[in-house]
Amino acid sequence: MGIVNVTPDSFSDGGLNFAPEAAVASARRMLADGAALVDIGAESTRPGASAVGVDEELRRVVPVLEELVAVPTSIDTSKAEVARRALELGTELVNDVTALRGDPGMVEVVAESGAYLCLMHMRGEPRTMQEEPSYRDVVSEVAAFLEERLAFATAHGVREDRICLDPGFGFGKTVEHNLALLRRLDVLLALGRPVLVGLSRKRSLGRLLGDPEATRGTTAASIGAALAAFERGAAIFRVHDVREHVEALTIAAAIERGGAIDGAP
Ligand code: HH2
C-alpha cells in the first residue's frame, strides 16, 4: 500500500503531493513500482496535527480520486461523508485510524458499500496522543481493542472477510510500545484477520537510530521494520518508498516460499 498524502503538513511527504496533479502522478508511479493499492489521505494524523473540516478534506481528495477511477485506492479518512464520496468514485478500502469511533455514520457507509475496512488502534487523538502514553500491557490492550472493534464492525453489517487490523504504530505509543507490538504481532494475528503495518518513516525508527529528537525514520530503517513485520506474519505494508519495499519484500517472500523463482538461475 503506497501512501499519498494530499496535505500541506504530513510528517514525511507534507506538501509534496498537495497539488492534485502531483498526487495523481505519485499514485501512478507507486503502482508502476509494484504497489497493490494507493492510500489517499487529506488530513495529517501526525502527532500534534490539527483537524481538517469535511469540506476541505473533500476539496483535497475528490479531484485526485476522479483522476484515479480505474486505479486501486484506499481512502485514509475518519469522516463518513469523505468515505462515501470516495467509495462512489471507486475506492476499495476505507482506512479509518479511529476504527469507526470518529464518525457515527462511518460503519453504515462501509457496511452498505461492501468495501474493505482497516481498523487501527489509536490511544487518544492526534493532537495529544504522544503526551506520555502508558499501558499496563500494550500488546494485550491493543489486541482487546481491535477484537472489540472487529465485533462492533461485524455486528453492524461489515463482512468479517473484508476487515484487516492495524496496531497503529506511533499512535499514542512510545518507542518501547511500538517494539513490543511488532515483536508480538502473533497476538494480533490470533484475532484471525490480516494485519496491516504502518511503520514507514515513523519517528520511532529515527529515534532507534540514535537521534532522540528525530521526527522521521529513514527508508532503510523502514525496510528493516517491514521485514521484521513480514517475518511475524504481517500481510499489508503501508509505505512511502514503494519500489524499495517491494524489492525487499519480494526477496523475503521468495525465501519464505522456498524453491526457484521463474526464470531465475
Ligand atoms: N499512519 C499514518 C496515517 N494513516 N493508517 C494506518 N492504517 N496505519 C498507519 O500506521 C497510519 C495510517 C501516519 O503516517 P502518514 O500518512 O505518512 O503521515 P500523516 O498522518 O502526517 O499524513
118 - beta bridge partners? 95, 164
Q: Is the pLDDT of residue 139 over 90?
A: yes
259 CA to middle of ligand 1, Å?
Answer: 35
- What is the C-alpha to C-alpha distance for residues 61 and 41, in angstroms, rounded to an integer? 7
Ligand 1 atom 8: the closest Cα is on which residue? 198
- Average pLDDT for the chain: 94
Cell matching residue 99: 476504527
240 — pLDDT class (breaks 50, 70, 90): very high
Q: What is the mean pLDDT of residues 224-244?
A: 98
The whole-number pLDDT of residue 124 equals: 84
Sign, CA dihedral 170-193-99-39, equals positive
108 CA to middle of ligand 1, Å?
Answer: 23
Q: Is the pLDDT of residue 265 over 70?
A: no
131 — pLDDT class (breaks 50, 70, 90): confident
4 - beta bridge partners? 40
- What is the C-alpha to C-alpha distance for residues 160 and 180, in angstroms, rounded to an integer? 26
Task: Summarize pLDDT for 91-107 with one digit per residue, the tens.
Answer: 999 999 999 999 999 99
- What is the C-alpha to C-alpha distance for residues 198 and 182, in angstroms, rounded to an integer? 11
Q: Is the pLDDT of residue 132 over 90?
A: no
Annotated active-site positions, please?
Answer: 202, 238
HEC letters along the chain: CEEEECCCCCCCCCCCCCCHHHHHHHHHHHHHCCCCCEEEECCCCCCCCCCCCHHHHHHHHHHHHHHCCCCCEEEECCCHHHHHHHHHCCCCEEEECCCCCCCCCHHHHHHHHCCEEEEECCCCCCCCCCCCCCCCCHHHHHHHHHHHHHHHHHHCCCCHHHEEEECCCCCCCCHHHHHHHHHCHHHHHCCCCCEEECCCCCHHHHHHCCCCCCCCCCHHHHHHHHHHHHHCCCCEECECCHHHHHHHHHHHHHHHHCCCCCCCC
Q: Is the CB of 45 under 6 A from ligand 1?
A: yes
Q: Is the CB of 169 under 6 A from ligand 1?
A: yes
Sequence-separated (6 or more) residues with CB below 8 Å from residue 25: none
11 CA to middle of ligand 1, Å?
Answer: 9
Sign, CA dihedral 35-233-143-148, equals positive
